[in-house]
Amino acid sequence: MTYLTAPGLPEAAVRARARDGAAAVFPPLDSYGTTVFGAEAAGPGDEIDALRLAPPVFMPGRLAALIDLGREPLYSDVRLTTALGGFDAPVPVYVSALGSTRVAGTSLALSRQAGRLGIPMVIGENVAPMNGFRSSGDDHRKGLLERILAYCEELPDGVGGVCVQQSTEDADSEVWNHVYSDPAVSGLLASGRLGFEMKVGQGAKPGLGGLTMISETRADDLDGQYALERLTPDGASVLRCSSPGTFTEEIFRRQIQLMRNNYPRARCWVKLFPGRDVGHAADIAWEAGAHAVTVDGAEGGTGWAPTGFLGHVGLPLAECLRRIDPAGRTLLASGRVWDGIRAVKLLALGAGAVGLGRAALVAADEDPDHGLERLLDAMALEMRMAVSALGRYAADETGPEDLWRPES
């Protein structure tokens, strides 16, 4: 029985892919031979939706692949394997940070499927302070280590990795110290597949910390640890507010350097919200030693946010990518990613890999056992076809010349 909805995301298409996998990339199979298809008028969307992939007529890259293979290359020859932020993945995709809100904590299905796929997974902020390091036994409160262990139980050798995010309240609980020294993650640490992500902010509510609705009973437990806001006159609706943290250039730089110094065996990721100085912040992060910088565009989803923020605060993802120059460094991008075409556009705009947030949750909600796997099958097929159509045979070979921007 599904219960999640995802306004702003083509939820029906995501659910179809979670059910049918690669077949959902095409029109309904029962329409073959009875329907002819063509492009429809462009509908509402963001700037990335408006971009079109623009294959060239002349493709020296295809000739190079032909010579290498000794035959005409096919889309199935496109290489999607990717090194991202110190981890290896079979496709340039990772699961974005999912924190302590109820939609992210009701099941370990995502952890198991992400592990099985061998794609990196980020565990978001406030999981340990809210749910504990180990499960309390409550179905809605899966502990941090339960998520890691569920992932590791399915993880093949040599790929994937877990990145644990930390916010102000997580730092107060010494989350990274506990994770780094816990025997349950020793295998990840030994194989170089443990990372820590410093969260500066997130796309849906830039400049704010995490927000979660909690019960009055939980409010009593958390009073003094978090700021609490009673939203209704009867006080029954309680908003738990995390601190967004305070950063100057020097504080930012020093915190990254401390991460590298205190946890030398862990990968260092930094997550930026879509602020106007996002390019400058990314440069500082890389110079200070970050293995990867994640930029979460204003299109990025969330478990809970003020509705006014969703449409009016933060830069669109396309604008963020214009302001950042990766220059060979790992840039990760997230924001309304659900299909292979949008993913390839983001790779052409400079991202090294893309994050699945709401789409991953919806896919696992549709099928807790295989929904995310089928969604990734569909994405991988689309990505191979799109990259091959551009005359490329590796996902990281795409560039801005592969995109056409309509006249404004």
> pLDDT at residue 253 above 90?
yes
* Residue 360 backbone zone (phi > 0: left; psi -120 to 50: alpha; other: beta): alpha
Residue 69, classed as helix, strand or coil, is helix
* Amino acid occupying residue 52: R
- Give the mean model confidence (pLDDT) for residues 153-169: 92
Q: What is the mean pLDDT of residues 95-123?
A: 83
User: What pTM value is reported for the model?
Assistant: 0.92
> Tokens 């179809």 correspond to what residue?
16
Q: Do 259 and 196 touch, CB atoms closer than 8 A?
A: yes
Who has greater pLDDT, 290 or 141? Answer: 290
Of 24, 76, 270, 67, whose CA–CA distance to 166 is shortest?
Answer: 270
What pLDDT is attached to residue 1? 45
Is it the case that residue 207 has pLDDT exceeding 50? Answer: yes
Q: What is the pLDDT of residues 50-91, one digit of tens each?
A: 999 999 999 999 999 999 999 999 999 999 999 999 999 999
What letter would DSSP give residue 397? Answer: G
State the pLDDT at residue 40.
74
Q: Which residue has the tokens 């939980």?
A: 218
User: Which of the pair, 401 or 184, is modelled with greater confidence?
Assistant: 401
Q: How far apart are CA 278 and CA 299, in angstroms?
A: 15
